[in-house]
Amino acid sequence: MAKKGYWKLEYSVALFVMLGVLLLIMPVSIENNRQANFISKWNEKYNRVEYMFSVINAHVSDDIIKSMNKAKTSQEREKLLLAIVRPYLRINTGNYGIRHYKPRYMNGSRIYKGQTYFFDDFYFAENNTIVGIKDIKNEKMTDALFIMMFDMNGILPPNRWGKDIFGVNIYDGGKIEPFGFDLSMEDLRKDCSSSGTGVSCSYYYKIGGGFDE
């Protein structure tokens, strides 16, 4: 009888240990699956946006080009680009409900007004994603004209760069490049980690980089 009781105790201890290990592993596994899903959605979004701009460039009219050249402020140029991409991405220009949307960098740092990746306005687009458009200062012909950001699951958390937020540079002629395309592999790994901004994950994941676990 004592031997049987000892066996039950030993079995119970082993069971509790296994349950403890499962409880430790499950959150990590769930988070990894969620991150892999965000990356998959980003790759699909990037391919679609790249195709979108190739179509736009092929059909851009002289009137649109003239309007861009005549625009005197960043806000005017952003509105023009928004009007162009709106039907392709099914953007709702009424940004009601996004006032409290505050994206952060991967390391948790806030993004302040005046910084490159601070966007004044956000818009709901297809599949409840959030889109941001920003006209940026370009000093050379080869510099990007605009940047765009995409939050793959909208207002739902984590709302962090490199987690569910990614972005592209937009150049003259409709060419796009993901953020981080011009960085070395070492710099990509450093930025696309829990201690980095996560901005360059946009490119790092495109070339098969692993996410920070």
Q: Is the peptide bond before 178 cis (omega within 30 degrees of 0)?
A: no
Distance (Å, rounded) from C-alpha 120 to C-alpha 133?
Answer: 9
Of 77, 79, 89, the closest CA to residue 124 belongs to 89
Question: How many angstroms from the chain centroid is the CA of residue 79?
Answer: 21
Please list the pLDDT of the chain residue by residue as tens digits (213 residues): 455 555 555 555 555 555 555 444 445 476 788 899 999 999 999 999 999 999 999 888 778 778 888 898 999 999 999 999 999 999 998 767 687 899 999 999 999 999 999 999 999 999 999 999 999 988 787 899 999 999 999 999 999 999 999 999 999 989 999 999 999 999 999 999 999 999 999 999 999 987 654
* Amino acid type, 84: I
Sheet holding 146-151, edge to edge: 123-124, 130-135, 146-151, 165-170, 176-178
Distance (Å, rounded) from C-alpha 121 to C-alpha 24?
Answer: 39
Distance (Å, rounded) from C-alpha 45 to C-alpha 58?
Answer: 20
CA angle 107, 190, 48 (to 5 degrees): 80
Q: In the chain, what's the furthest Cα-to-Cα distance?
A: 93
Q: pLDDT tens digits, residue range 147-173?
A: 999 999 999 999 999 999 999 999 998
